[in-house]
Chains A and B, each alone.
Chain A
Amino acid sequence: MNAEKPMRSRKLRADTITLSHGSGGKAMRDLIDDVFVAGFDSPELNTLEDQARFDMNSLLQFGDRLAMTTDSYVVDPLFFPGGDIGKLAVTGTVNDLAVGGAIPLYLSCGMIIEEGLAVEDLRRVVASMKATADECGVRIVTGDTKVVHRGAADKLFINTAGIGVIPAGINVAAQRAQPGDVVICNGYIGDHGAAIVDARGELAMENTIQTDCAPLNSLIQAMLEVCPDIHCMRDATRGGIATVLNEFAESSNCAIRIDESSLPIRDAVRGMCEILGLDPLYLANEGKVIAVVPAEKADAILQVMQAHPQGEYSRIVAEVVAEPKQRVILKTRFGGDRIVDMLVGEQLPRIC
């Protein structure tokens, strides 16, 4: 952060963000002090140095390896049923750390703001990031702000990078799936993708679909406590669970068979998919972990998952088999087998 010590508290009085808020002058200091430093309220950020600093020994108490990740968030609209871009920017990066078995600790926050954004919207996003970070037990420790000309960005883009520590003995990797393993998912799939289509208001559907946007780190910690030997784990975001399962099948050189009748899909999501010709297997999720686990550990893992708020509807959705290698096969409700491939491009609605 390029700002001086907060000797006196500064107030941002503007209603909308203008280019002056990114110029490095007083307007920018007011924005950083009043919106970001006050909003995120973390000791590392409050020092207003150009970088956050960590004590190595305190990191060592969590494990023996550092994990680091970054992700950018460009969702439109900024606010949608059940979440907003701020919540997404925290949970997305926290989840990317958590699925590696890491305990997420610190986040950075880079904001690219389009000139004209309402300050009130920005405050809401920051408050949402802070609340979500608190829920996840992580701190936002460093940040950056840019304001760009109208049209050069869409309202607000957020980048967060995250650092976590992987406890000794945990080794989650996409190439570790083996025949006999089972695949567990922590609940209804496709909610986020469907909620975003719905929130854009182009369909005027009767039901409101809520995003599943949620942090997964505490659920995953509980899973790793009963089974430190979870073989593979990813959060099924863009590309849906189909993409994650294809990545596992490819990396592990095995096949994964999904049982369609075991897939948890809400009626509202299924209905929207039928109208538009979308496949819920490819719809984005923001709070779904897909874990490949040894079959004999599945019951114990499911038990702790179902007792957790993020895992109430957890179930086994697929199994790992030897053949056909690097393929994902869906056993359909009416008894057929369908190849579930990676998407080539975007999923497109039906034409005729």
Chain B
Amino acid sequence: VKNFSLFCNHITTVPTIKAVLDSPDMRIDAFLAPGHVSMVVGEEPFQFIPQEYHKPIVITGFEPLDILQSIYMVIKQFSEQRCEVENQYQRVVPKSGNTPALNAIHEVYELRDFFELRGLGSIDHSGVRIRKEYAEFDAEQKFNVPNLKIADPKSCQCGEVIKGVIRPWQCKVFGTSCSPETPMGALMVSSEGACAAYYNFGNLPELLEKRNQSEGASAA
């Protein structure tokens, strides 16, 4: 195959979570880990979260009852003063992940020194690139890909939402200049993003009113 090339923008989960956990204003108490990522990587890569950061983490499925059960499991860990990796999504996620898939990933990709993430900035080892053995498919090698840096819009507060510093509706642009039709930040793009969920399923007028009041209060 000569006419296929890949511009690799894949990201890694663990360094990104680490960067979030290391940021001084982080307010996250516990994690629900992504089911499909976990299906490939298994439980092991998340062990540092309870071991080094003492936060509970539950690998979670996607159906409403999965989410409810996982929240229950997190709360149970708190009440029993435990913190560990638990797997709510056992019907899909094996403990050791998917070895053939992991081997394929390691065969084709290697870690980048750093990668730029929307809302979080540059994070060490947070992305992968194609190994030189597969350079014939690597768009970065085959074409002149300009190293464009596109800064997040200044008013966009995705990073603070991800770190739990603010809730989606407290962002200055939520529901006004940032909406699912015209998203400014990553969390509004996907229907599963936190901001899109608040926008679609929250009471929008009420949330905007609440934000305006709190802005008024802080200004006073």
Residue of B nearest to A339 (CB): B201
- CB contacts (< 8 Å) of A341 on chain B: these are 200
Q: Does A149 interact with chain B (Cβ within 8 Å)?
A: no
Q: How far is the CA of A274 from the CA of B62 in the complex (A)?
A: 8
Q: Which of B63-71, B164-172, B209-217 lies at the binding interface? A: B63-71
A338, B201: Cβ atoms closer than 8 Å: yes
Q: How many A residues have CB within 8 A of the partner chain?
A: 13
A344, B201: Cβ atoms closer than 8 Å: no
Q: CB-defined interface of B48-73 with A at 8 Å, one 1/0 digit per residue?
A: 00000000000000111100100000
Q: CB-defined interface of A252-281 with B at 8 Å, one 1/0 digit per residue?
A: 000000000000000000000010010000
Q: Does A203 interact with chain B (Cβ within 8 Å)?
A: no
Tell which of A274, A334, A339, A351 touches B192, judged by Cβ atoms closer than 8 Å: A351
- CB contacts (< 8 Å) of B190 on chain A: these are 348, 351
**Chain B: minimal CB distance from A344 (Å):** 5
Tell which of A336, A344, A350 touches B181, judged by Cβ atoms closer than 8 Å: A344
Contacts A277-B62, A334-B68, A341-B200 given; does A352 touch B36 at CB 8 Å? yes
Q: How many B residues have CB within 8 A of the partner chain?
A: 16
Q: CB-defined interface of A209-230 with B at 8 Å, one 1/0 digit per residue?
A: 0000000000000000000000
Residue of A nearest to B66 (CB): A274
Q: Does A332 interact with chain B (Cβ within 8 Å)?
A: yes
A352, B34: Cβ atoms closer than 8 Å: yes
Interface centre among A274, A350, A352 (most CB of B within 10 A): A352
Residues of chain A in range 315-352 having any CB-CB distance to chain B below 8 Å: 332, 334, 336, 338-339, 341, 344, 348, 350-352
Tell which of A336, A339, A348, A350 touches B36, judged by Cβ atoms closer than 8 Å: A350
**Chain B: minimal CB distance from A111 (Å):** 31
A334, B200: Cβ atoms closer than 8 Å: no
Q: CB-defined interface of B4-36 with A at 8 Å, one 1/0 digit per residue?
A: 000000000000000000000000000000111
A334, B64: Cβ atoms closer than 8 Å: yes
Residues of chain B in range 152-194 having any CB-CB distance to chain A below 8 Å: 180-181, 190-192
Tell which of B68, B180, B192 touches A350, judged by Cβ atoms closer than 8 Å: B192
A348, B37: Cβ atoms closer than 8 Å: no
Given contacts A351-B190, A352-B34, A352-B36, 19 further A-B contacts (CB under 8 A): A274-B62, A277-B192, A332-B64, A334-B64, A336-B64, A338-B201, A339-B200, A339-B201, A341-B200, A344-B180, A344-B181, A348-B190, A350-B36, A350-B62, A350-B192, A351-B36, A351-B192, A352-B35, A352-B37
Q: Which residues of A contact B (CB under 8 A)?
A: 274, 277, 332, 334, 336, 338-339, 341, 344, 348, 350-352
Q: List 25 A-B contacts (CB under 8 A).
A: A274-B62, A274-B63, A277-B62, A277-B192, A332-B64, A334-B65, A334-B68, A336-B64, A338-B201, A339-B200, A339-B201, A344-B180, A344-B181, A344-B191, A348-B190, A348-B191, A350-B62, A350-B192, A351-B36, A351-B190, A351-B192, A352-B34, A352-B35, A352-B36, A352-B37
